[in-house]
């Protein structure tokens, strides 16, 4: 007999919980839903665009009746629950409908706050909360002229903007002297006021409403100052109060909201509460992102998994008024322990303020240019040390050495035909359509449905902006702790820590310990786990080839036609006539269709049939060449210039240093591909300053550079330090490489890793802490003992993975 789950409140938070639960445990419960409104579940945050005539009610429906049927959910529409009988475990609606329960999700949401003044119950006095209110406003706009919106916060301004677009003459009344004072400081607030005034809204600031005037229908509003204005419609948008009525009546403990613990349970553990009716660790939330985080946790607990906890949310806000860009997050006022970085350009209508404490972002207000809102929000949530980027902070992420896609930002300014994702050919219009028609909320949803940002990821920021501008207000980029993939709730860091701490040495052991959702994982988590295991326990964890991407399984690069490319290693890019002859012979013998010199100073043989690979390698091995690892998440190449031996500008022997470094690091598996270069002088012909680890010779020694990237997103390196001896170059190289191997997330290049953890942290660990540097280097050398085996030779002479290269059977 299935347990019975009753959801009270057919709103976004509750239904999101049900959807998450169905994903985790589709058959665990008989589900019944009670909703007071006569509609299915709709996207409440998009009511403002409906009022502004930018969307229709149909556009914002999330789950229609058919969906409830398809998922075997009993839906009681238009039935308000009046009682929870906790003794007999019965939910009773006002019309007498009853449902037995084993567990309840309370999602009663919030009520608009109605200010206690005479006349607040007159006809024509409404709030802005549901479809009914929107319909009232639209009707009123057809018949009447004057509207007064009480409340100059987010909701009030969106209502006012919508009413104005419906053709009404609108006055916004606000009790404070700054608009949206909970989201904006006074400067941004007055800029907002000015631009709304230019659109035609009128404002009465610092005005206290004394009475709403009229006999039956509202006629006007009177203020404490004595001023009276006429009004045919009054919208109260001064705030919301958690709806705790039902909880109170049923004897469930409430304060401002229904009090819940970190698994979203009330004082009655059979009863969960979620969304706007909830008070968690003293905080109530009215934005959608925290509600979705709560929904995930609640569903996890309902599904008897119980390993995730809700720890509160940091929220950000954006105003859904088309044409006005505004963003705020965190503590944007600051105090005497914080520092402000401010930029103001009145002519362009731009204002940015970032509040910093101890080199960490505490809050931000952006007006007029909100492109970097998501980035500041990320710095805020992850509490990244910004001391290295402080001087660029104000100019946005595009200025962090990003010459490739810099400035490609104004998502809202793009036309629908403009391409967002160059890899998958997805245009802005496709994404916006998918978000609205399919009801998408997260980056993952958009990736799944449109493929945008699903390949190289360089347009991720742009896609996030499109999400934010389409959904408006309360879109949040991602939860602070991002699960490694859909097979687990644990983050990359959690997984790594567990592998290290509990000495897990196989994928099944790691999956079991970490409660993986399915025993096989997927193509995302298995390669990550395999890397984390072999990097944490070199020589001890067994490399699972079936969990490696094909390129790393057959040690060659798969091409679009299913053939492979082969690149032999040339240490430091140095070769000999013998090697070149051997390569030429191989190409002739196996009729390899194409040869090319690569960007990393190697020779690429393209179009090799899979079954020929071992013989091609065998011939190359005989001439002394080994795998170039051009296919792996591993050390790729060390590019060099000719250096002092030949070059009239050379200051050191860069070629020799390149060879030494390549001999040191080849064969090591990494979180992602890893490229190095050594230049013999600051003219930098080897382009060392766009490599993961770049060495530039100077007269007095060597400069060591890290975190460069020449690919999708060009990023110049950061200078790690300067050293004088060759031995130091080697030790720093090993230490930096090992730190990257131990700390970066799988598939994270050095550039984003350094931006995530901060260069200071790396300097501290590798440069300033000598003992730690030596320990890192020693661990690298230890790990290399197991890694430096030529995978080609193993397959040619030791028959490793023989099955990979032979067909099972030939028929016909």
Which residue lies nearer to another protein by CB, 1 or 808?
A: 808
Q: Does 526 participate in binding another protein (rule CB under 8 A)?
A: yes
Residue 707: partners with Cβ closer than 8 Å, 6 or more residues away: 692, 715, 717, 718, 750, 751, 753, 754, 755, 759
Starting at the edge strand found earlier in the chain, the sheet holding 73-77 runs 73-77, 29-35, 3-8, 103-106, 271-273
CA distance 712 to 694: 18
| Phi, psi angle pair for 362, to nearest 5° | -100, -30
Q: Within positions 749 to 808, which residues make up the interface with another protein, using CB under 8 A?
A: 803, 807-808
558 binds another protein (CB under 8 A): yes
∠243-246-248 over CA atoms, to 5°?
90
Q: Could you tell me the two tokens for 532?
A: 């984390």
Sorted by sequence, the CB contacts under 8 Å of residue 402 that are 6+ apart come out as 713, 714, 715
In the block, which residue shows the tokens 């990359």?
Answer: 492
Of 308, 313, 547, 684, which one interacts with another protein (CB under 8 A)? Answer: 547
Q: Pick the closer one to another protein by CB: 528 or 586.
A: 528
Part in contact with another protein (CB under 8 A); list of ranges 125-133, 188-196, 557-565, 568-576: 557-565
Give Cα separations from 237 to 71, 214, 215, 274, 584 (angstroms).
36, 20, 22, 23, 78
Comparison of 267 and 549: residue with beta carbon closer to another protein? 549
Considering only CA atoms, which of 435, 521, 423 is closest in space to residue 472? 435
Shortest distance (Å) from residue 417 CB to another protein: 22
Nearer to another protein, 518 or 764 (CB): 518
Residue nearer to another protein on the CB measure, 146 or 526: 526
Q: Which of 113, 223, 392, 549 contacts another protein by CB under 8 A?
A: 549
Please report how close the Cβ of residue 241 comes to another protein at its closest, in angstroms.
40
CA gyration radius, the chain: 31
Can you tell me whether residue 688 is helix, strand or coil? helix
Contact pick of 195, 359, 521, 571 for another protein (by CB under 8 A): 521
Beta strands in 680-766 (DSSP E): 693-698, 701-706, 718-723
Q: Is 66 in the site for another protein (CB under 8 A)?
A: no
Torsion of CA 84, 88, 94, 99, to 10 degrees: 100
Quickly list DSSP for 497-551.
Answer: HHHHHTT--SHHHHHHHTT-SSTT--TTHHHHHHHHHHHHSTTTSPP-GGGS-HH
Q: Which stretch binds another protein (CB under 8 A): 279-287, 349-357, 543-551, 767-775?
A: 543-551
Q: Which stretch binds another protein (CB under 8 A): 105-113, 153-161, 330-338, 522-530?
A: 522-530
Binding another protein (rule: CB under 8 A), the pick from 142, 143, 348, 560 is: 560
Among 142, 143, 348, 523, binds another protein (CB under 8 A): 523
In the shown chain, the binding pattern of residues 450 to 479 toward another protein, with x for contact by CB under 8 A and - for none, equals ----xx------------------------
Q: How far is the CB of 520 from another protein (least distance, A)?
A: 4
Q: Are strands 233-236 and 146-150 parallel, antiparallel or unpaired?
A: parallel
Instruction: With beta carbons less than 8 A apart as the criterion, state whether 650 and 643 touch.
Output: yes
The residue (of 408 and 551) whose beta carbon lies closer to another protein is 551
CB of 29 or CB of 631, closer to another protein: 631
* Residue located via tokens 């969906």: 67
Binds another protein by CB under 8 A, chosen from 562, 597, 648, 771:
562
* 90, 117, 136, 522: which one binds another protein (CB under 8 A): 522
Helices 154-165 & 131-143, crossing angle to 10 degrees?
A: 40
* Other CB atoms within 10 Å distance of the CB of residue 800: 16
Using CB under 8 A, pick the residue from 227, 342, 550, 781 that binds another protein: 550
Identify residues 235-264 at the interface with another protein (CB under 8 A): none
| DSSP one-letter string for 284-301 | ---SHHHHHHHHHHHHHH
**Nearest-approach distance from CB 425 to another protein, in angstroms:** 12
The token pair at 175 is: 């009790």
Region near another protein per CB under 8 A, out of 347-355, 546-554, 618-626, 776-784? 546-554
- Asked if residue 643 binds another protein (CB under 8 A), the reply is no
CB of 606 to another protein, least distance (A): 16
Binder among 142, 143, 348, 809 for another protein (CB under 8 A) = 809
- C-beta contacts of 698-702 below 8 A and 24+ residues apart: 698/651, 698/722, 699/651, 700/724, 701/725, 702/652, 702/657, 702/726, 702/728, 702/729
Q: What b/e string do you get for 544-560 counting C-beta neighbours within 10 Å, with b at 16 or more?
A: beebbeebbbbbbbbee
Pick 405 or 553: Cβ nearer another protein:
553
- From 520, 540, 591, 782, residue interacting with another protein (rule: CB under 8 A): 520
- Smaller CB separation from another protein, 455 or 598: 455
Name the one residue in this structure whose structure tokens are 């790594």. Answer: 496
How far apart CA 73 and CA 93 sit, in angstroms, is: 17
Q: Which stretch binds another protein (CB under 8 A): 342-350, 369-377, 449-457, 717-725?
A: 449-457
How many Cα atoms sit within 13 Å of 59 on the Cβ side?
18
For another protein, the closer CB: 449 or 629:
449
As a whole number of angstroms, the distance between CA 751 and CA 743 comes to: 13
Q: Least separation, in Å, of the C-beta of 812 and another protein?
A: 4
Q: How far is the CB of 692 from another protein (least distance, A)?
A: 25
> Do 572 and 536 form a contact (C-beta atoms < 8 A)?
no
Least distance CB 426 / another protein (angstroms): 13
Which lies closer to another protein via its Cβ, residue 413 or residue 807?
A: 807
> In the bound complex, what is the minimum distance in angstroms from residue 558's beta carbon to another protein?
6
Q: Does 449 bind another protein (CB under 8 A)?
A: yes
From 395-403, 404-412, 556-564, 674-682, span contacting another protein (CB under 8 A): 556-564
By the rule CB under 8 A, 143 interacts with another protein: no
Only one of the segments 33-41, 48-56, 284-292, 554-562 lies at the binding site for another protein (rule: CB under 8 A); that segment is: 554-562
114 interacts with another protein by CB under 8 A: no
Stretch that binds another protein, among 128-136, 315-323, 513-521, 600-608 (CB under 8 A): 513-521
d(CA 640, CA 48): 59
Q: Which stretch binds another protein (CB under 8 A): 322-330, 355-363, 520-528, 694-702?
A: 520-528
By CB under 8 A, name the one of 96, 226, 323, 812 that touches another protein: 812
What's the DSSP call for residue 130? S
User: Minimum distance between the CB of residue 291 and another protein, rounded to whole angstroms?
Assistant: 25
CB of 69 to another protein, least distance (A): 19
Cβ–Cβ under 8 Å, residues 119 and 213: yes
**Which pair of tokens denotes residue 564?**
């492979």
Cross-strand pairs, 629:
none
User: With CB under 8 A, what is the number of residues at the site for another protein?
Assistant: 30
Which of 90, 114, 122, 448 contacts another protein by CB under 8 A? 448
Cβ at position 444, least distance to another protein in Å = 12
**Footprint on this chain of another protein (rule: CB under 8 A):** 448-449, 454-455, 518-523, 526-527, 545-547, 549-551, 553-554, 558, 560, 562, 803, 807-812
């Amino acid at each position: 007999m299935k347990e019975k789950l009753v959801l009270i409140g057919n709103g976004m938070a509750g239904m999101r919980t049900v959807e998450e639960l169905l994903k985790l445990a589709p058959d665990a419960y008989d589900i019944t839903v009670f909703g007071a409104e006569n509609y299915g579940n709709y996207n409440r945050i998009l009511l403002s665009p409906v009022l502004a005539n930018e969307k229709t009610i149909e556009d914002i429906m999330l789950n229609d009746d058919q969906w409830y049927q398809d998922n075997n959910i009993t839906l009681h529409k238009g039935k308000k629950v009046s009682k929870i009988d906790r003794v007999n475990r019965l939910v009773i609606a006002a019309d007498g409908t009853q449902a037995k329960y084993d567990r309840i999700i309370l999602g009663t949401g919030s009520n608009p706050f109605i200010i206690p003044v005479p006349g607040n119950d007159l006809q024509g006095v409404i709030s802005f909360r549901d479809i009914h209110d929107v319909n009232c406003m639209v009707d009123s706009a057809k018949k009447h002229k004057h509207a007064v919106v009480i409340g100059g916060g987010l909701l009030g301004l969106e209502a006012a903007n919508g009413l104005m677009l419906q053709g009404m003459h609108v006055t916004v009344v606000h009790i404070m002297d700054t608009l949206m004072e909970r989201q904006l400081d006074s400067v941004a607030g007055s800029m907002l006021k000015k631009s709304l005034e230019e659109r035609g809204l009128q404002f009465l600031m610092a005005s206290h409403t004394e009475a709403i005037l009229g006999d039956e229908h509202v006629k006007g509003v009177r203020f404490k100052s004595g001023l009276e204005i006429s009004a045919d419609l009054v919208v109260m948008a001064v705030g919301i109060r958690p709806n705790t009525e039902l909880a109170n009546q049923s004897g469930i403990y409430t304060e401002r909201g229904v009090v819940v613990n970190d698994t979203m349970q009330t004082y009655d553990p059979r009863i969960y509460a979620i969304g706007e009716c909830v008070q968690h660790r003293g905080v109530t939330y009215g934005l959608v992102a925290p509600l979705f985080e709560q929904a995930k946790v609640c569903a996890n607990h309902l599904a008897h998994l119980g390993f995730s906890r809700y720890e509160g949310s940091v929220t950000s806000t954006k105003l859904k008024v088309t044409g006005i860009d505004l963003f705020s997050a965190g503590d944007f006022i600051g105090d005497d322990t914080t520092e402000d970085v401010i930029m103001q350009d009145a002519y362009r209508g731009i204002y940015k303020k970032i509040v910093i404490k101890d080199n960490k972002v505490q809050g931000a207000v952006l007006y007029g240019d909100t492109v970097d809102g998501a980035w500041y929000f990320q710095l805020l949530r992850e509490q990244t040390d910004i001391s290295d980027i402080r001087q660029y902070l104000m100019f946005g992420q595009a200025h962090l050495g990003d010459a490739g896609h810099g400035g490609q930002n104004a998502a809202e300014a793009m036309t629908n035909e403009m391409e967002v994702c160059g890899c998958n050919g997805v245009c802005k219009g496709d994404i916006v359509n998918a978000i609205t028609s399919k009801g998408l909320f997260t980056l993952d949803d958009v990736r799944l449905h449109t493929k945008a940002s699903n390949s190289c990821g360089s347009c991720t920021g742009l896609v996030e902006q499109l999400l934010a501008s389409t959904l408006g207000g309360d879109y949040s980029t991602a939860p602070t702790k991002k699960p490694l993939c859909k097979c687990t709730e644990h983050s990359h860091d959690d997984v790594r820590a567990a592998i290290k701490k509990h000495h897990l040495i196989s994928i099944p052991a790691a999956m079991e310990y970490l409660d993986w959702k399915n025993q096989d994982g997927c193509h995302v988590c298995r390669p990550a786990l395999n890397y984390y295991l072999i990097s944490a326990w070199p020589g001890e964890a067994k490399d699972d080839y079936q969990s490696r991407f094909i390129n790393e399984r057959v040690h060659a690069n798969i091409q679009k036609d299913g053939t492979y490319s082969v690149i032999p290693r040339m240490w430091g890019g140095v070769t000999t006539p013998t090697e070149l002859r051997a390569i030429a012979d191989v190409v002739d013998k196996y009729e390899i269709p194409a040869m090319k010199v690569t960007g990393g100073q190697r020779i690429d043989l393209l179009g090799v049939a899979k079954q020929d690979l071992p013989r091609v390698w065998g011939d190359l091995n005989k001439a002394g060449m080994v795998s170039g690892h051009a296919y792996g998440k591993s050390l790729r190449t060390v590019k060099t210039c000719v250096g002092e031996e030949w070059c009239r500008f050379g200051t050191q022997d860069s070629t020799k240093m390149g060879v030494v470094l390549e001999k040191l690091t080849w064969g090591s598996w990494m979180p992602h591909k890893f490229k190095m270069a050594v230049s013999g002088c600051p003219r930098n012909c080897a382009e060392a300053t766009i490599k993961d680890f770049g060495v530039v010779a100077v007269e007095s020694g060597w400069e060591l550079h890290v975190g460069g990237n020449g690919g999708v997103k060009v990023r110049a390196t950061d200078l790690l330090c300067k050293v004088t001896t060759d031995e130091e170059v080697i030790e720093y190289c090993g230490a930096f490489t090992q730190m990257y191997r131990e700390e970066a997330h799988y598939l994270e290049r050095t550039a984003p890793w350094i931006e995530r953890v901060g260069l200071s942290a790396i300097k501290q660990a590798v440069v300033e802490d000598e003992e730690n540097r030596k320990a890192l280097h020693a661990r690298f050398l230890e790990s290399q003992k197991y890694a430096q085996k030529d995978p080609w030779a193993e397959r040619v002479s030791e028959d490793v993975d023989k099955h990979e290269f032979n067909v099972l059977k030939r028929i016909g």
